[in-house]
Amino acid sequence: MSTRAQIAIEIGPDQWAHIYCHFDGYPLHMLPALAPWTPEDILAAKEIRQVRADALDCFDPPREPPILPRPTCQLCHLYVWRDGGWIELDPEAHAPEGAAQ
Protein backbone atom coordinates (compact mmCIF):
# COMPACT_ATOMS: atom_id res chain seq x y z
CA MET A 1 0.00 0.00 0.00
CA SER A 2 1.29 3.44 -0.92
CA THR A 3 1.48 6.44 1.36
CA ARG A 4 0.68 9.17 -1.12
CA ALA A 5 1.62 12.79 -0.57
CA GLN A 6 1.66 16.17 -2.23
CA ILE A 7 4.33 18.83 -2.28
CA ALA A 8 2.82 22.30 -2.67
CA ILE A 9 5.10 25.00 -4.10
CA GLU A 10 4.11 28.64 -4.41
CA ILE A 11 4.62 29.77 -8.01
CA GLY A 12 2.78 33.09 -7.88
CA PRO A 13 0.17 35.06 -5.96
CA ASP A 14 -2.57 32.58 -5.06
CA GLN A 15 -0.91 29.92 -7.24
CA TRP A 16 0.45 26.72 -5.74
CA ALA A 17 1.67 23.81 -7.87
CA HIS A 18 0.81 20.48 -6.21
CA ILE A 19 3.37 17.82 -7.11
CA TYR A 20 2.16 14.26 -6.59
CA CYS A 21 4.33 11.72 -4.75
CA HIS A 22 3.14 8.12 -5.11
CA PHE A 23 4.76 6.30 -2.20
CA ASP A 24 6.78 6.69 1.00
CA GLY A 25 5.07 10.03 1.65
CA TYR A 26 5.02 9.63 5.44
CA PRO A 27 6.94 12.34 7.36
CA LEU A 28 9.65 10.08 8.86
CA HIS A 29 10.79 9.26 5.32
CA MET A 30 9.73 12.32 3.38
CA LEU A 31 11.21 15.16 5.43
CA PRO A 32 14.79 13.79 5.40
CA ALA A 33 14.41 12.72 1.75
CA LEU A 34 13.22 16.21 0.72
CA ALA A 35 16.01 18.00 2.64
CA PRO A 36 18.57 18.14 -0.23
CA TRP A 37 15.99 19.18 -2.86
CA THR A 38 14.99 22.75 -3.71
CA PRO A 39 11.50 23.80 -4.74
CA GLU A 40 12.88 24.24 -8.28
CA ASP A 41 14.06 20.60 -8.31
CA ILE A 42 10.62 19.38 -7.25
CA LEU A 43 8.83 21.62 -9.77
CA ALA A 44 11.03 20.28 -12.56
CA ALA A 45 10.08 16.70 -11.59
CA LYS A 46 6.33 17.46 -12.05
CA GLU A 47 5.16 14.01 -10.83
CA ILE A 48 7.14 11.75 -8.52
CA ARG A 49 7.00 8.04 -7.69
CA GLN A 50 9.36 8.38 -4.73
CA VAL A 51 11.54 11.08 -3.21
CA ARG A 52 14.93 9.90 -1.98
CA ALA A 53 17.80 12.02 -0.69
CA ASP A 54 19.96 10.84 -3.62
CA ALA A 55 17.38 10.82 -6.44
CA LEU A 56 13.88 11.73 -7.50
CA ASP A 57 12.18 8.71 -9.05
CA CYS A 58 9.84 10.46 -11.51
CA PHE A 59 7.06 9.32 -13.79
CA ASP A 60 7.90 9.36 -17.49
CA PRO A 61 6.08 11.08 -18.99
CA PRO A 62 4.88 13.13 -16.01
CA ARG A 63 1.50 14.83 -15.75
CA GLU A 64 1.48 18.57 -15.15
CA PRO A 65 0.80 19.42 -11.50
CA PRO A 66 -2.56 20.97 -10.63
CA ILE A 67 -2.41 24.65 -9.71
CA LEU A 68 -4.57 25.62 -6.72
CA PRO A 69 -5.04 28.95 -4.89
CA ARG A 70 -3.50 27.65 -1.64
CA PRO A 71 -1.77 24.55 -0.26
CA THR A 72 -4.51 21.91 -0.22
CA CYS A 73 -4.11 18.43 1.25
CA GLN A 74 -5.93 15.97 -0.99
CA LEU A 75 -3.89 12.90 -0.05
CA CYS A 76 -2.28 11.55 3.14
CA HIS A 77 0.37 14.26 3.66
CA LEU A 78 1.16 17.76 2.41
CA TYR A 79 4.62 19.34 2.39
CA VAL A 80 5.65 22.93 1.69
CA TRP A 81 8.88 24.94 1.62
CA ARG A 82 9.01 27.40 4.51
CA ASP A 83 11.92 29.45 5.88
CA GLY A 84 14.54 27.56 3.87
CA GLY A 85 13.32 24.02 4.52
CA TRP A 86 10.51 21.53 4.01
CA ILE A 87 7.73 21.09 6.57
CA GLU A 88 4.55 19.05 6.76
CA LEU A 89 1.39 21.12 6.97
CA ASP A 90 -1.47 20.01 9.17
CA PRO A 91 -4.03 18.74 6.64
CA GLU A 92 -7.05 19.80 8.72
CA ALA A 93 -5.73 23.36 8.96
CA HIS A 94 -5.40 23.58 5.15
CA ALA A 95 -8.47 21.74 3.87
CA PRO A 96 -10.62 23.59 1.32
CA GLU A 97 -13.65 25.31 2.83
CA GLY A 98 -16.57 22.93 3.05
CA ALA A 99 -14.41 19.83 2.45
CA ALA A 100 -15.17 16.77 4.53
CA GLN A 101 -12.37 15.49 6.73
> What's the chain's average pLDDT?
90
Q: Which residues pair with 87 in a beta bridge?
A: 80
pTM over 0.95: no
Which pLDDT belongs to residue 46? 96
Share of the chain above pLDDT 90, in %: 83
Helix (H) or strand (E) holding 49: strand 47-51
pLDDT bucket at 1, cuts 50 / 70 / 90: low
- pLDDT digit string, tens, across residues 60-86: 999 999 999 999 999 889 999 999 999
Which pLDDT belongs to residue 90? 77
Query: Which ranges constitute the DSSP H helices of 1-47?
Result: 27-34, 39-45
Of 46, 39, 45, 53, the closest CA to residue 87 belongs to: 39
